[in-house]
Amino acid sequence: MRALITFVTDMQTTKVLKARKRIALIAHDHKKAELIEWAIYNKTVLSRHELYATGTTGLLIEQALDVSVRKLLSGPLGGDQQIGALVATGELDVIIFFWDPMEALPHDPDIKALLRLGVVWNIPMASNRASADFLLTSPLMHQEYEATLPDYSQYTKRKV
C-alpha cells in the first residue's frame, strides 16, 4: 500500500503560486458594497497582489483602493467565463467571489461553471467575508506556495 501512495504522489503535477498572487475579485450586485468595504479594510494586503475583476466590481475596487485592476466584462456579459478561462489556463491563483445566495441570476450557469473550474484546478476560493478574511490572512497568501494540480490524464486519454 505504501508503494502505491508514493507512486501516485510522484505522478502529481504542481504549480507554484508566487508570493504576489493573481486574485480575481467578483461580487453580485447586492454584495458589491460588502466586497468594496472588505477590500478597503484589506487595501494594504491587496495592493501587494495583481488584481482582476469583472465589470463594475473592477471599476469600484480600482476607485476605492486607487490601485490598478485588470477589468473584464460584466459577469452576465461573459466576465465570469473570462475569469474561468484564466483559471483553466493557469493565469489566476485565487478567487474571491462574494455571491448572493438569495437571488437567482440569469447567468447562474456561468457562475456554477466558474466555481467548478476553481475546484477542478485546485484554486483557493472564498465566497463570503469570513472565508475571504481567513484566506487573505493565511501565511501561505504571502509566500510562494506549491499547489498540487489534479491529474486528469485518465480523463483526457479516455476512449470516446
pLDDT in tens, 74-95: 988 999 999 999 999 999 999 9
In angstroms, the Cα distances linking 24 to 86, 153, 157 are 10, 27, 31
Decide if pLDDT at 127 tops 70: yes
pTM for the predicted model, two decimal places: 0.88
Nearest to 20 by CA among 148, 147, 149, 144: 144
Decide if pLDDT at 16 tops 90: yes
Instruction: Tell me the C-alpha distance between 69 and 109, whole Å.
Output: 25
Q: What is the pLDDT of residue 107?
A: 75
For 70, the grid coordinates are 485588470
Catalytic residue among 80, 100, 108, 151: 80
pLDDT in tens, 24-53: 999 988 999 999 999 999 999 999 999 999
Note if 151 is an active site residue. no
The mean predicted confidence, pLDDT, of the chain is: 90
Instruction: Tell me the C-alpha distance between 115 and 95, whole Å.
Output: 9
